[in-house]
């Protein structure tokens, strides 16, 4: 019998520079923080939050998105592992707004593309991780 599941619980990305990556994700997505180690944490709190590995975990709808500072090399979607991470948005207008936001922040992208089943906007984070915004057609 197969394992029954209906959603992702969380995704955690490894990054080379947590401060740089966190600034990017905070600026672009402004997701609420679910877990982070307080600067003044005592030993018990540090032990309890050791699963963060010095990173941060954001709340993303009913799931979580984490950043973990462990990687020393850059991202390559042609290696085994992650190809890209796609985020859902409400509609094409949200993609158009996102493209403008990326333009305003100087973040390269290929513009909104019609892929038949919907629209996508592709861009990359500071570690070159391929990110995508997706909107279904109305």
Segment 52-89, tens digit of pLDDT: 989 999 999 999 999 998 867 776 767 778 889 999 99
Question: Do the domains 83-138 and 6-71 match in fold?
Answer: yes
pTM of the model: 0.89
Task: Sketch the domain layout of the chain as residue ranges.
Answer: 6-71, 83-138
For 104-135, give the DSSP string: HTT--EEEEEE-SSEEEEEEE-TT--EEEEEE
23 within 8 A of 69, measured Cβ to Cβ: no
Q: What is the mean predicted confidence (pLDDT) over 33-41?
A: 94
CATH superfamily, with its number, for domain 6-71:
2,3-Dihydroxybiphenyl 1,2-Dioxygenase, domain 1 (3.10.180.10)
3-state secondary structure of 55: coil
**Highest CATH level, class, for 83-138:** alpha beta
By 3-state DSSP, what share of the chain in percent is helix, strand and coil, each rounded to 5?
25, 35, 40
């Amino acid at each position: 019998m197969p394992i029954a599941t209906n959603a992702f619980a969380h995704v955690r990305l490894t990054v080379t520079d947590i401060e740089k990556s966190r600034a990017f994700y905070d600026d672009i997505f402004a997701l609420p923080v679910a877990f982070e180690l307080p600067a003044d944490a005592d030993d018990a709190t540090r032990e309890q939050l050791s699963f963060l590995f010095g990173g941060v975990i954001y709340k993303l709808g009913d799931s979580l998105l984490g950043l973990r500072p462990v990687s020393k090399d850059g991202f390559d979607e042609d290696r085994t592992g992650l190809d890209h991470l796609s985020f859902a948005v409400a509609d094409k207008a949200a993609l158009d707004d996102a493209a403008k936001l990326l333009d305003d922040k100087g973040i390269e992208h290929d513009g909104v593309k019609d892929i038949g089943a919907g629209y996508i906007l592709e861009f990359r984070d500071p570690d070159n991780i391929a990110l995508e915004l997706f909107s279904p057609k109305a």
